Each structure stands twice: as C-alpha cells, then as structure tokens.
Amino acid sequence: MQIRGLSYDDTIRTRSGLGAGLFRRLPPQPEKCQPQNSGILQRRFRLLLRFVHETHGVEPAALHIENLDAPIILAFLDHIERQRANCIRSRNARLAAVRSFFRFVQMREPAALAVASRVLAIPVKRTDRKLVGYLTRPEIDALLAATDRTNWDGRRDHALLLTLYNSGARVSEIIAVRRGDILLDAPASLKLHGKGRKERAVPLWTKTAQVLRSWFQELGDHCGGLAFPSARAHRLSRHGVSFLLGRLAERAVKACPSLGDKQISPHVIRHSTAMHLLQSGVDPAVIALWLGHESVETTHGYVEADLTMMENAMGKLTPAGSAPARFKAPDDLLAFLATL
C-alpha cells in the first residue's frame, strides 16, 4: 500500500521492528504522487529517525511503534524548532508528515490505536501572521545586474532569475522546467507543473524569451533537456537555487543597500512577482491563476502588504471632524450639460 509516495509494509505489528521496507522509496508514479512531494516527505522522516537514534539509541531498522509515542514526537518537534532553528510553519509541516503515517497505522494496526491516537492529538502550533515580504523593482534589477554573464554559471543564473521573476514559479517548479516546457515563438510562454499535479501556462516577456533563446543555443543538446541544469548536468536542488540567490544578493548590496535588510529566497522572488502584478493593476483573480493559487483568498495577502494601495484608499476617505467633500463636475461636463 502506498501513501504519498511511501511504501508501508503490510506486516506492521506493534511489537515487530519497523524495517527498511516501511519507508521504502518507490519509483515515481505520477498518478499517485509527485516525485517532489515524495522526496519532501522522506526528508522529514529521515530527520525523525535520526533524532530517535541519537536520543534513544534505537536503530531505524529496529524501530517499534512504541518508540514513536507522543512524548518522543513532541521532543522531536521541540528539537527542530530550537536546535535546528526551524520556524513554526516548518515545525507544523513535519508534524503533518508524522500524522500522515499514524493515520495509516490507526487503520491497519488495532494494537497501536492508543499510540496513534496520542500522536494524532498533538495540535499544530499557532504562529503570528506576518506581512508578505517582497522586493521592489530596483532591487530585482540589482539582482539581475549582479549576475556575471562572462561565464557559464552567470549566464545560467541570469536566465534562471529572469524566468523565476517573470513566471512567479515555485522553486520546485522552476528546477523541474525542461526545454520542452518553454515556447519561444510568439506568444512566448512557459508551462509549469505545480501542486496537485496541476499544469498552468504563463506568458513570457520578449526580453525573457530572447535571453532563454540565447541560453538554449549555448546549452546545446546536453543536460538531458533540463532548462537550468547544474554544472554537473544534473537538476539544481532547492538549496542550490537559494545559495545562488544569496550569492547574487551579496554582490548586489553594494549597488542597492536596501537588499542588506531583506531575506532573499526563491519564494520572496515569487512574492515580488505577485506584488508587482498587483501594483500594475492586474486583477487578483488573474494573479491567483498566474501563481497557481488554489484560492483567490491567498492572493489577498499581497493587498494587505501593499502600503501604497492602502494610502490611495485612505486618500478617498474624509478625515474625522471634516465636512464631507462635495462633488464638483469638471468644466467639460458642465458644458455638455448646458447643451442638453
């Protein structure tokens, strides 16, 4: 049986070891689980298994259900939050992976119901909802200008960053882009494979299409069709994209000091795309489709973060204690009415 890309042994028993077959990686099966989702879930379980081994001396191959009771899960969540400096959202994401496993245990092994119920009762941790962080257009331009286009890495980074900003893609989507997903003939577009196996197409600027055309000519037929490969012709990792953005930010901070006060990540670039579309007057519903949001309500967070839009709205409101402004028609309107 497979749940979210993990193969669970049919012979799980409370008193038997949870062997390697419990968390065996299956070949990617698009109809069941996306490869990136399976990989994320496995990384979260590896952290848990490593923690149990380091704190209790239990080898992963000899693990029992009792070794994953609620106190141990709570200690693990506290560990990743305090020792690994994970934010509360990351902590909750790891808890969700643990819950996914114990929901399966709850259905398959009646003897483990007590342990599973205690783990499933662990609540998510609430967190403050912060304003969306984003970069201004001059800051984006400074990052693009910081790429060293005299070498191969720099030209790839420039094409990658420009496409990332143009499309507002998630980092998992951009590293999976293949050359066949990009249409450079007018109208140029990029096909992205997003969450929930949903595909969407976003338009590309003429400048982006020109940069990509030059980059693909240089890339040739190597790298297995990847649009933005690593130096070893493999797919870039999420951490690799974050690293190259951090390196660009260090270079760009001299020309744009405001970058020194901001955290730069692929998701911040995605937020910047959404914010700049909103500031340009694009409807939030269109932005939700552009970014692949499940609901338009997700896009409303950008409205809350745009102080300029709120200032414009406040300018239409009469201050307290002042007489309401009366409508005054322009001269051309008065002239028109006089002719009726």
* Catalytic annotation, residues: 170, 195, 267, 270, 293, 302
Helical H runs in the chain?
35-56, 70-82, 88-108, 113-120, 137-145, 152-167, 171-174, 206-219, 238-252, 266-279, 284-291, 296-305, 307-315, 331-338
Residue with tokens 């590896």: 46
Looking only at the bridges linking them, the beta strands covering 199-203 and 24-25 are: unpaired
**Among candidates 280, 283, 317, which has minimal Cα distance to 300?**
283
Question: Nearest 10 degrees: CA dihedral of 268, 274, 279, 283?
Answer: -160
List b or e across 147-173, with b for residues whose CB sees 16 or more CB atoms inside 10 angstroms: beeeeeeebbbbbbbbbbbbbbbbbbb
The order of strands in the sheet holding 189-193 is 182-183, 189-193, 199-203
Residue 23 is which amino acid?
F
Handedness of CA 145, 150, 153, 155 (dihedral sign): positive
| Token pair belonging to 321 | 């204690």
